[in-house]
Amino acid sequence: MAAPEQCVILAGGLGTRLGDMTKQCPKPLLLVGGKPFLSYLVQEAIRFGFKRILLLAGYLSDQIVVFARDIAQDLPPGVSISVISEPAPMGTGGALRFALPQLDEQFYLLNGDSWFCFNWLELAAVASSQDDWDAVLSLRTLEDTGRYGVVRLDGQQVTEFHERGGGGPGYVNAGVYLLKRSFVASFPDKASLERDLLPMQAVAGRVLGVPTHGFFIDIGVPDDFTTAQDSVPKQLVKPAVFFDRDGVLNQDRGYTHKPDDLSFVDGAEMAVKRLNDAGYYVFVVTNQSGVARGYYEESAVTTFHTEMQRRLRSLGAHVDDWRYCPFLLGAPLKHYDRAHPWRKPEPGMIIDLMTNWSVDVERSFLIGDKPTDIEAANRAGIEGFVYAGGNLDQLVGDILSA
């Protein structure tokens, strides 16, 4: 089953605990590390492969509309962002009910004032193995749950919610959800998703929970808002793995470009998911001289990558970004007939990704199957590993554990 492609973000809260800071600015747009906090959530949604981003606004909604309009200019091709403004405070459940006509059959939901950094697609992977559910929650394990409500879990089923207090270790709701539209259709016009609706469905056995670990920040109180100024930008700095494509991630059938010809090598999907779960960026860097030779057009490369991403996301994995080089010196098509700094063994694709993403270069590496891949890695200042067949996940596991 394909993973959902819509990400809905709740951005309508008053932010009263932040005092004067939110009198003239909605909480999700407060600057964190010099950028609106909401921009980090949008960036995360995009890198996890979500194509439709919907912001549910309320308080000072006109500013959310301007934010969406401005950020839309820089979105990748195929990604859209839109805003729905509730006419009056309706609670988180009421805001979703109001947005019902624009909700997909399944969609992700985020709180606009918190960020939980884990592999979001794990929720969809768990949901695909279950039949009867209305909501899947991300749960974070804490040694001290005193500030938060506690979630009780029996296997993968959430059995009950408890109000904050008591402390001690346990699971807390981390604010990333996978929901069904049919569940939202049952909501009243005004209600709280967290306090009213999810506890009711948990009693009915319709709520799943996925315990996981990762960086978590809620900017809704002054101390955490101050902490976020440094911790959030630092969290973007991650090691990266750069994969060659044909012969490494997918079987090389000779200028492979048709989605029907896509066949992953043994262990490729799990290798990507392992890296996603471990907090690595996953990038693809591939020479595509078939374009320069006239075998297929550049649009075919994008279509092939879209299919790769679709299949990976259905298993809870994803590629963060892609680079390809269609140029070849001496190519039959004159437009592509030139040496290019992106064509391996030149390091241009790797360097471009390092420029556009916050990459921890010292901990990053490349996996390829040709000497040109390894040379490109070395020129970019990272280590290169040769994939010579076998299980790709095992190779990745060996590299990470070395």
List residues with catalytic annotation: 244, 246
Contact 8/56 with Cβ under 8 angstroms? Answer: yes
- For residues 384 and 344, give the distance between their C-alpha atoms in angstroms, rounded to a whole number: 13
3-state SS, residue 214: coil
Work out the angle at residue 197's Cα, subtended by the Cα atoms of residues 96 and 53, and round it to the nearest 5 degrees. Answer: 25
Upstream peptide bond of 345 is cis (omega within 30 degrees of 0): yes
- For residues 281 and 350, give the distance between their C-alpha atoms in angstroms, rounded to a whole number: 12
- For residues 120 and 114, give the distance between their C-alpha atoms in angstroms, rounded to a whole number: 14
CB-CB neighbours of 260 under 10 Å: 6
CB-CB neighbours of 287 under 10 Å: 26
- For residues 378 and 372, give the distance between their C-alpha atoms in angstroms, rounded to a whole number: 10
Contact 310/331 with Cβ under 8 angstroms? Answer: no
User: Closest Cα partner for 384 from 341, 347, 339?
Assistant: 347
- For residues 89 and 95, give the distance between their C-alpha atoms in angstroms, rounded to a whole number: 8
